[in-house]
Structure 1
Amino acid sequence: MADPTRLLKRAAEAKRSSKRVELNERFDPQATGDWLELVKDVAAMANSGGGAVVVPGHKVQEEPIHEHLDAYAEPEFEAFGLHDIVRGGQPVTAIVVDSVAGTPLVFSRQGRYQDAEGREHVAFARGGLYFRHGAKSESASGDDVRDFIKRQLDATRQQWLANIRQVMHAPDRAEVAIIETAERDEEGRPTLIRLTTDPHAPLYGQIDPDRSHPYRQKEVITEVNTRLDSRSVNAFDVLSVRRVHAITEETRPEFVHVPKFGSPQYSDAFVDWLVEQDKGDPRFFEKAKAGYLATRKRR
């Protein structure tokens, strides 16, 4: 996550809500509506390039935010952090939200709730795409979609330039290797080959990640829960395991694949590993959560 210092300063000093700062005067962690409105603001901030959502006191915790995002929005989104700040002499929580990468957050379920007087409200619609319009989180306009695409293109260009710089600064006599294989599958794609017996060497070739890594996080959770004995895990449990055990596409490609656009995908091997770890230590997920939270102490 980028340095939140400037956003936290804006959140502490803002007189009113804006595109980058949402000020909530109240928040009841027991009220479904407050959680749904909070999730809508987080999603809109992420889709709009990032910002801060301010909640009074220290009533909001990281885990239920993850749980509500996992329950209502896609793709998987974890790029936010909680910070304790002071506004007008009162303690508040600032949820600093990074810009979403690749694919915007879209609501997969309707966010319907009743207020204290029993009146029905819809915080967001199924399939809804929300952005910040001044001080409000509202449905997307054509300009929002255009601006989102432009931000993604700019990020891609920056990555290209970084890659080009790496090539330009490669050591003397370094070579770019083009690998050709005569073996192809029925669709004309190169089959997977290994050019060395070193298990840590890079792989050349192509496999279908939808076959090798068929699960999204929600499906991983469902699959793991069907195999655990009278217990269940949630999105925050899986996130904690991934963070504590440093499971990424770079470190454990057999477990996770991150497509260019969309949510990370996970393999059967990852599901098997989670179940095996739990069988070996019934407190495996509990320990992972404690370890992750220890690294995420509110600042």
Structure 2
Amino acid sequence: MTSERLLKRAAEATRSSKRVQLHASADATEIARDISAMANSGGGVVVVAGVVEEERLHEELERRVEPEFDGFEAHPVVRAGTPATALVVEAAVGMPLVFVDDGELYFRRGGRSSRAHGNDVRDFILRQLNATRRQWIANIRQVMHAPDRAEVAIVETADRDEEGRPTLIRLTTDPHAPLYGQVDPDQSHPYRQKEAIAEANRRLDGTRSVNAFDVLSVRRVYDITEASRPEFVHVPKFGSPQYSDAFVDWLVEQDARDPGFFEAAKSRYLATRGSRR
């Protein structure tokens, strides 16, 4: 279901359903649990009366949900003439989200977020398999429609790790340079987001404190993804993104050049979405 349709349902729904959860108050625990359940069930929208402070919500999710999840956006809506906030939630990818407070998996069942049953986990796995199948087909189409005289090369390196996998020759961001082999992402990108934030704060040495929403804003505004900046971020097939020392260095350098760097990134990120805190 598209974001536009979810926002329409957020404004018009009179009761909760599988894809819509209505909240009369901004209880952080309940909202975090419902976001995890929506994500595990393929996405939806959580509607909260009044205005939600999005930065605080990201902080709550960082504490209450694993692996790290920032796949939601806050949008202002009006319900029966009253302001509300619609949190449009993306589907979880790779592995389901765990609600840390009780260590349980939650899924949507009717108009409620409930502890997982076997069928819920089965459906989640099927969605992942279908997504992988679609990606395979897309990749095959790319090969089939490759330009005339294009070649597919299989490259073997001399150096291999203890499990027989090729090791890294060189990590580069040059779009014209081929990248052969692989590097252990746990070595090249050792930080999860919490750890990257902690390391950035350590290097900032008390001059300011960076939080999850700061990092999210910077990533979105500066288009920092695995595809655009592989030297900064790696996304494992099953798990949350991992970040490199180079990314932490870059954050600290940007702050040194411009003390308003993080605040400006947050303002730009919120402005591009027409959202509000």
TM-score interval for Structure 1 and Structure 2 normalised by the shorter chain:
over 0.9
Match of 1:269 in 2: 246
Q: Check the 8 A contact 2:171/2:231 in 1, yes or no.
A: no
Match of 1:56 in 2: 49
CA distance in 1, matches of 2:170, 2:265: 34
Distance 1:199 1:17, change over 3 A: closer
Q: 1:255 aligns with which of 232, 235, 241?
A: 232
Match of 2:203 in 1: 227
Structure 1 residue 3 displacement after superposition = 3.1
Q: What is the percentage of aligned positions where both structures have the same residue?
A: 71
Normalised to the residue count of structure 2, the TM-score between the two structures is 0.92
Match of 2:177 in 1: 201
Structure 1 residue 11 displacement after superposition = 2.4
Structure 1 residue 195 displacement after superposition = 12
Larger relative contact order, structure 1 or 2 (CA cutoff 8 Å, min sep 6): 2
Structure 2, unpaired ranges of 5+: none
Matched residue type, 2:141? R
Number of equivalenced pairs: 275
Match of 2:15 in 1: 16
Consecutive aligned runs of 4 or more in structure 1 exceeding 3 Å deviation: none
Structure (1 or 2) with the larger CA radius of gyration: 1
Match of 1:118 in 2: none
Matched residue type, 1:164? I
CA distance in 2, matches of 1:159, 1:130: 27
CA distance in 2, matches of 1:224, 1:143: 41
Distance 1:97 1:195, change over 3 A: closer
Matched residue type, 1:218? K
Matches within 5 A, 1:101-140: 101-108=93-100, 110=101, 125=102, 127-140=103-116
Structure 1 residue 61 displacement after superposition = 2.8
Match of 1:293 in 2: 270
Match of 1:65 in 2: 57
> What root-mean-square deviation, in Å, do the aligned CA atoms of Structure 1 and Structure 2 show?
2.1
Matched residue type, 1:99? A
User: Residue 104 of structure 2 aligns to a residue in which SS?
Assistant: coil
Match of 1:156 in 2: 132
Match of 2:25 in 1: 27
CA distance in 1, matches of 2:272, 2:254: 21
CA distance in 2, matches of 1:19, 1:107: 18
